[in-house]
């Protein structure tokens, strides 16, 4: 369980999901912390990586640094089936969860539930528990929406 002192940092989120031998990633622009140990992400229907986020699945949320804008642009515009978005990017592991080696904040998470909000929207809400204490890179600025 996450430490209550590790809130989600506002920024551009890179979600990484390991599926067998393939590592998938996507940019999630909307996420919020809903309690000391739960976050909510909104995932669009076009996301191949988002479709892997099923109840019980472990994955990571990585708050990108300003210097990681090229990674955000690649991960936000290409599908994991078409390109290895993490080629050459230093990664680390927390058990079975893949995380960026360098990010403003990294969190290992587990999907708790999926929230269907149709017919209001075609996005899916992913409620996830932060299952290990978040690691934060001090001093570096997160990549924010206004940078795009």
HEC string of 61-94 equals EEECEHHHHHHHHHHHHCCCCCCCCCCCCCEEEE
For the record, the structure tokens of 23 come out as: 């590592």
**pLDDT single digits (tens) 2-50:** 444 456 788 899 999 999 999 999 998 788 888 888 999 999 888 889 9
How far is 35 from 88, CA to CA, in rounded Å?
A: 34
Helix or strand (DSSP H, E) at 73: helix 69-77
How confident is the model at residue 51, as a pLDDT? Answer: 92
Which residue is it, tokens 């934060």? 136
> How many angstroms from the chain centroid is the CA of residue 39?
10
How far is 6 from 42, CA to CA, in rounded Å?
A: 20
HSE of 4, CA atoms in CB hemisphere, 13 A: 2
Beta bridge partners of 129: 38, 110
Higher pLDDT, 118 or 99: 99
How far is 73 from 111, CA to CA, in rounded Å?
A: 25
Average pLDDT, the chain: 86
CB 44 within 8 A of CB 76: no
CB 57 within 8 A of CB 127: no
Rounded to two decimals, what is the model's pTM? 0.88
Residue 147 in this model has a pLDDT that exceeds 70: no
HSE of 114, CA atoms in CB hemisphere, 13 A: 16
How confident is the model at residue 145, as a pLDDT? Answer: 60
107-117 average pLDDT score = 92
């Amino acid at each position: 369980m996450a430490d209550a002192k590790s809130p989600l940092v506002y920024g551009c989120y890179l979600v990484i999901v390991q599926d067998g031998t393939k590592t998938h990633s996507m940019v999630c622009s909307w996420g919020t912390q809903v309690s000391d140990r739960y976050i909510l992400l909104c995932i669009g229907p076009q996301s191949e990586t988002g479709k892997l986020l099923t109840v019980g699945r472990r994955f990571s949320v990585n708050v990108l640094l300003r210097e990681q804008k090229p990674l955000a642009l690649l991960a936000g515009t290409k599908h994991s089936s078409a390109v290895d978005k993490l080629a050459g990017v230093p990664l680390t592991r927390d058990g079975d969860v893949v995380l960026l080696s360098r990010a403003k904040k990294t969190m290992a998470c587990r999907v708790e539930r999926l929230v269907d909000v149709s017919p209001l929207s075609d996005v899916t809400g992913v409620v996830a528990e932060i299952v290990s204490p978040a690691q934060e890179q001090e001093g570096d600025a997160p990549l924010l929406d206004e940078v795009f």
